[in-house]
Structure 1
Amino acid sequence: MDQTKQANPDLKWEKTATANIGVDFSILKGKVTGSVDVYDKKTTDMIFNYNVNPVLVPVGTIVANGGTMSNKGIEVSLGATIVKTADFSWNTNLNLAHNKNEIVKLTSPFFVGGDSIRRVQPDGGGQTGSTLQIFKEGKPLGQFFTLKYAGKNADGVSQYYDKNGDLTTTPQIGVDYHYAGSAQPKLLMGWANNFQYKKFDLSIFFRGVFGNKIFNATRADLFRPSTAMTNNILVDAGNESPNDLNSYKYSDRFIEDGSYIRLDNMTLGYNFGKVGNYISSIRIYQTVNNVFVITKYKGIDPEVEQGGTAPGVDSNNFYPKTRTYMFGVNVIF
């Protein structure tokens, strides 16, 4: 029997209610089509492992219902035939989505954390007690909550703003924290294009994510010049003073814009048509996945984990996307 978890006989399923309204349309004799969907989704009785008063629950935590989360958004899809001639055609489809996430309620009969829970504690050296995000009523899932970097002082030591806005080189972890953006993207995009020229065909698909933040904990963990004799550090960390023992502290210094546009897939094909008396069609094609990505993010890949309860944290815990090539032949007899 597990003695580290408290039984909760009152635990029940989460509940989700969704309201949705949509409009489909077609204009210019079907050359332009589209849809608009607006939704309002609310999840109640959310299940979470709450910290509780040890007097009530000896192990100090309990899995309980208690949270309420809201997701409101809009999804737009547009399709169009841009060009259509005897030899050439171009069809395109654009999908856009915006979602606003908010923790509406965060409570449990046992909960001792008020209306917030500090979350996400990567295991970087020298970061004991540090957390990166917070569950907070009125804030989104993935809300960053950390130290606020204020540059260097006259001695070249990294300084921060304390909870009152004053400068300090000895910030208190968990006390001198500030809200520092969200991992929730403001816009998601998917854009597909299909071209046909005589017997050639080309398909191109772009994906984009815009307006989200990423906490580059991997960069912070490699930003310790004092450890250069025994550990790897980043090249630009070499510009930091070895005496600045604050330079690598988790703070908004390591929060970056996570926006990107990725050419996700590109396929070029050629159809020979009928070959001989037994083959009605032969098509050869070349496909490339993850062709390129445009981003200002300094990490290996801006497409970090966006699911779960701790989105938008790059903590050296994922394998970056690889570029793959595939050659194929389709034969129809």
Structure 2
Amino acid sequence: MDFAILNGKISGSFDYFTRKTTGILITPPVASALGEGQSKTVNGASKTNRGWEFLLTYHGQRSGDFNYNVTLNFSHFRDKITDLPENVRPAYPGNIDNTIIGHSQFDIFGYKTNGLFQSQAEVDAAPTQIGAGPGRIRYVDINHDGKIDANDQTWIGTTLPTLEYGARIDLTYKKFDLSIFGSGVAGRKGFDVYTLFNNLMHSRENVGPGVFDGWTPQHTNTNVPALTLKDNNNEGRTSDYFIVNTSYFKLRNLQLGYTILPKAVFTRLRVFAMAENIFTVKSSKYLSPDPERIDLNPIPIPRIFSFGVNASF
């Protein structure tokens, strides 16, 4: 739906989409004992995709030499696995009791945590957990069978944002023009690899400053486990200990220009200065430098400054 109101001062569009996809082709992993050449492409999950996009522009009324336009955009997307053949289930997150059906392929499957064990008495009273001890991460017994194992994994978040949004402002005054653009996401969670590097010890690797806040019997007001090089508790496993708010807003582009109208050679000459990836607003709980890149190698996008000339003959 496209629309314009108030004599075109406000315009925009709204789109809603839905799609069903069946038999998605995948190459599931095979046991190494089967030897090389055993991998094959088969039909995997079927799923639905639904979402919407909304665009809104306000065309400012010219006031003398000043004019401006403001554009906002919002979107939402969600996919859901609707069918999963038995022969490809190991290729998707989930287990026998808790499959990915009804969830998104971007949902996170892992363990829930409940702080750190503070004493041996807490360890003795808790479900059996290999590697448990004072100062170790406590995992939640999801299926209430009295022990912590792979069957206690559940869905602990999604890397899909609830909302994606952006804003662009264009202003002109006489021969000057200014353009500002920013965008971000809201309602998203993801894995923070810096929490792993910062809070846990790793043999033959440097450690982050988080280890200085590690649990000890004299320092229990912390979420950093007791320091150890022997991870009997398997604390690097996927769990909500590493899942944090990865929502963010980025001021992506700022451009200032000045237009010259020379009488000879050029019909129009514009000089400009531009800055990209100027700053990011993110949750203080997300330690990695760039929440837009929630992966195991979150190298931040560089900040760029440039100058240029646009010429018309």
Please classify the TM superposition score into its range, dividing by the shorter chain length. 0.7 to 0.9
SS in 2 for 1:214: strand
Between Structure 1 and Structure 2, the one with more helix by share is 2
Q: Shift of the alpha carbon at 1:277?
A: 3.2
Q: TM-score, normalised by structure 2?
A: 0.80
Give the one of 185, 192, 199 matched to 1:223. 199
Instruction: Report the equivalent of 1:328.
Output: 308
Q: Shift of the alpha carbon at 1:102?
A: 0.6
CA distance in 2, matches of 1:53, 1:294: 44
CA distance in 1, matches of 2:163, 2:89: 32
| Structure 1 runs not aligned, ≥5 long | 1-22, 120-130, 305-312
- Aligned in 2, Cα 1:107/1:52: closer, same or farther, shift over 3 Å? farther
CA distance in 1, matches of 2:153, 2:76: 28
SS in 2 for 1:139: coil
1:257-309 deviation digits (Å, cap 9, x = unpaired): 11111111110011122x243333221100111011111132121112xxxxx
- Aligned in 2, Cα 1:66/1:118: closer, same or farther, shift over 3 Å? closer
SS in 2 for 1:236: helix
Between Structure 1 and Structure 2, the one with more strand by share is 1
Give the one of 236, 239, 242 matched to 1:254. 242
Q: How does 1:289-300 map to 2 (within 5 A)?
A: 289-296=276-283, 297-300=286-289
Q: TM-score, normalised by structure 1?
A: 0.75
> 8 Å contact 1:266–1:288 — kept in the other structure?
yes
1:228-279 deviation digits (Å, cap 9, x = unpaired): xx32112113322224844544311100111111111110011122x24333
Instruction: Report the equivalent of 2:50.
Output: 72
Instruction: Report the equivalent of 1:39.
Output: 17
Q: Shift of the alpha carbon at 1:79?
A: 1.0
Instruction: Report the equivalent of 1:202.
Output: 178
> 8 Å contact 1:261–1:295 — kept in the other structure?
yes
Task: Name the amino acid aligned to 2:143.
Answer: N
Question: Is 1:242 aligned to residue 213 of structure 2?
Answer: no
Count of matched residue pairs:
279
Q: Shift of the alpha carbon at 1:52?
A: 7.6
Q: How does 1:7-46 map to 2 (within 5 A)?
A: 23-46=1-24
SS in 1 for 2:27: strand
SS in 1 for 2:210: helix
Task: Name the amino acid aligned to 2:208.
Answer: L
Which deviates further from its counterpart, 319-328 or 76-85? 76-85
Instruction: Report the equivalent of 1:186.
Output: 162
Question: Is 1:314 aligned to residue 295 of structure 2?
Answer: yes
- Aligned in 2, Cα 1:254/1:167: closer, same or farther, shift over 3 Å? farther
Task: Name the amino acid aligned to 2:160.
Answer: Q
1:116-165 deviation digits (Å, cap 9, x = unpaired): 8338xxxxxxxxxxx9xx97110011111111111111222221112335
Task: Name the amino acid aligned to 1:235.
Answer: P
Q: How does 1:153-192 map to 2 (within 5 A)?
A: 153=117, 154=119, 155-164=134-143, 171-172=148-149, 174-192=150-168
> 8 Å contact 1:220–1:249 — kept in the other structure?
no
The alignment yields a C-alpha RMSD, in angstroms, of: 2.9
Q: Shift of the alpha carbon at 1:217?
A: 3.4
CA distance in 2, matches of 1:193, 1:178: 43
- Aligned in 2, Cα 1:278/1:254: closer, same or farther, shift over 3 Å? same
